[in-house]
Structure 1
Amino acid sequence: MTTKAKYQEVLDLGEALNIKDGNVTEENGVLKVKGMAKTQYEKNRLWDKIKEIGGDKPTDIMANITVEDESIYAKHTVKSGETLGKIAKHYYGNASKYQAIFKANTDVLKNPDLIHPGQELVIPNL
């Protein structure tokens, strides 16, 4: 199996995330991946996939992923049935961090208990 084939799921995720300026080369059994993610959350998703496949310190892949907008962690479009707590749990692993999301979106949200499908929320860096 080539290194590129081994990490195909990472490349597929990069395409799904619309990573900009993507470049993939393979040299001496090492896959070199380069590109720009929209947010830190997308960069983290790519690194999580790399580590899932290659372990915590893979030696057969080198990734240089930059972030286009470092002022936020992510952007999120509210789906039916979601709460700020569920969204906070998804991005931060802790539902009680919902207040940070509320504070970052007071231009859109007037009450943390009232969010609606289709609203675009900023997920702030903590």
Structure 2
Amino acid sequence: MTPTLDIQQPQPFDLVGETILFAGNAAGFEGTLSVTVSEGHDEVTGSTSVGSLGLRQVQGAIEIPATTMFQLNRLFLTLADDTGNENGPSVTIPVLFGPRILPGYRGWQPYTVAAGDTLSAIAQAQYGSNDFAPIFEANQHILASPDVIFPGQTLRIPRADI
């Protein structure tokens, strides 16, 4: 059976901003997919048009209003073909919400860990402060502890000045 939802962007644990872009292939009942972003306390909803007769490319965006008071930095983006059946197929992708990780978030840049690096030292070099929390939170999907990083590891450095 061919899946009716194949979401290629974002990937799990991508670092996203106030506009979450999504893309993939989908077919939706009456040509519509519902879009929900939630973290268990708050929710933003929308919809996007897709083909109803076979799998077609789909792309869209959902805006997270500045007034949304998400309490957590891990969000769940759900795209669902539930317009004609509340039990229709859906895909849920965990993403990390940059504006909750770093105030003024505008994007991120990669950083390759060198021998002798610590998260505090990287934060000092990147932000002028040894507060490594934004770096740790932006990489929570690959870092189990802020005390354990490895040379050659690529980290995402959240930026407010891009």
The structure with more strand, counted as a fraction of residues: 2
Specify which structure has the higher proportion of helix. Answer: 1
State if a TM-score over 0.5 links the two structures. Answer: no
**TM-score normalised per structure 2:** 0.33
